[in-house]
Structure 1
Amino acid sequence: MGDVSKNEKRYRTGLDVRRSVLGDPHVDRAGDAVTDFDRPFQQLITEAAWGTVWARPGLSKRERSIVTLALLAALGHDEEVAMHVRATANTGASRDDICEAFLHVAIYAGVPAANRAFKIAKEVFAQMDDAHA
């Protein structure tokens, strides 16, 4: 029983952190789209990524956001890059921070990966700017 309550606590923590980073609308849409097929996956990422890693005290949300963007860009995960660029509105990572992260990507993971990430970020920034205009 100890594991169940620990997992439930980690899930609740993860959901809170996920909402604080990605925003309620995103998390609500993801929750509405869950099926029996992917429910275990959603539980896993909520507990492991958000309830364990993102909830750790060692780095700020801003710092985690920068690291996450660099990793996603290096791996070519375009949809996740876009999502996490949008999330910087909640984490405090600035556009300058994102630029610096993508410059690191260019050197350590390749110019094509960074070029794609810059393109995605510019598109997301334009959408964000239009939404606030």
Structure 2
Amino acid sequence: MPDSSNKGMETRRAVLGDAHVDRAESAKTDFDAPFQSMITDAAWGQVWSGDHWTKRERSMVTLALLAALGHYEEFEMHVRATIRTGATMEDIREALMHVGIYAGVPHANQAFKIAKKVLSEMEGDSL
């Protein structure tokens, strides 16, 4: 089995981009280094690096879960990452429609607000 830490960092950079990962890595301290290693290995090296779902599919599930749980800072980061996973604005909209039905309109409403802001920044247009 390949080293999931190396694969994790490769996948993390592919999804989130070098600039984001470089910022996160430079902010790492002795205190949180073991935690950062754990999430790079488990989340990025195992879950995100799996071959059953595409990165686009993983993006949709991740966005829906983050919005449903109210983890809006991570949600915003993953909206930005969709440009690298092949997810479209329509994909994001459909994921958030599911959030509205299955997790509640307030969560979806806040997520739509964040997604509109991020997508507008990314496209330079008003949504």
TM-score by length of 1: 0.91
Q: 2:21 aligned to 27, 30, 33, which one?
A: 27
Q: CA RMSD in A?
A: 1.4
How far does the alpha carbon of each residue in 1:76-100 deviate from its partner, in whole angstroms, 9 at most, with x for none?
0011110000000000000000000
Question: In the alignment, does 2:9 pair up with 1:52?
Answer: no
The one-letter amino acid paired with 2:10 is: D
Number of aligned positions between the proteins: 125
Larger radius of gyration: 1
Following superposition, the deviation at residue 130 of structure 1 comes to: 2.8
* TM-score between the two structures when normalised by the length of structure 2: 0.95
**SS of aligned partner of 2:124:** helix
Aligned position for 1:97: 91
- Find the partner of 1:12 among 6, 29, 44: 6
Structure 2 match to 1:119: 113
Q: 2: CA distance between counterparts of 1:78 and 1:70?
A: 11
- The C-alpha deviation readout for 1:85-126, integer Å capped at 9, x for no partner, is 000000000000000000000000000000000000001012
| Residue 30 of structure 1: how far off its partner (Å) | 0.3
- Answer with 120-129 or 69-78: which moved more: 120-129
Report the 3-state secondary structure (helix = DSSP H, G, I; strand = E; otherwise coil) of the residue aligned with 2:22.
helix
Higher alpha-carbon deviation: 120-129 or 31-40: 120-129
Which runs of at least 4 in structure 1 moved beyond 4 Å after TM superposition?
none
Whole-Å separation in 2 of the counterparts to 1:35 and 1:103? 38
Instruction: Return the alpha-carbon distance in structure 2 between the equivalents of residues 118 and 91 of structure 1.
Output: 19
Cα distance between partner residues in 1 of 2:51 and 2:32: 29
Q: Which moved more, 1:22-31 or 1:122-131?
A: 122-131
3-state SS of 2:74 partner: helix
Q: Which residues of structure 2 form unaligned runs of 5+? A: none
Matched, 1:85 2:79: yes
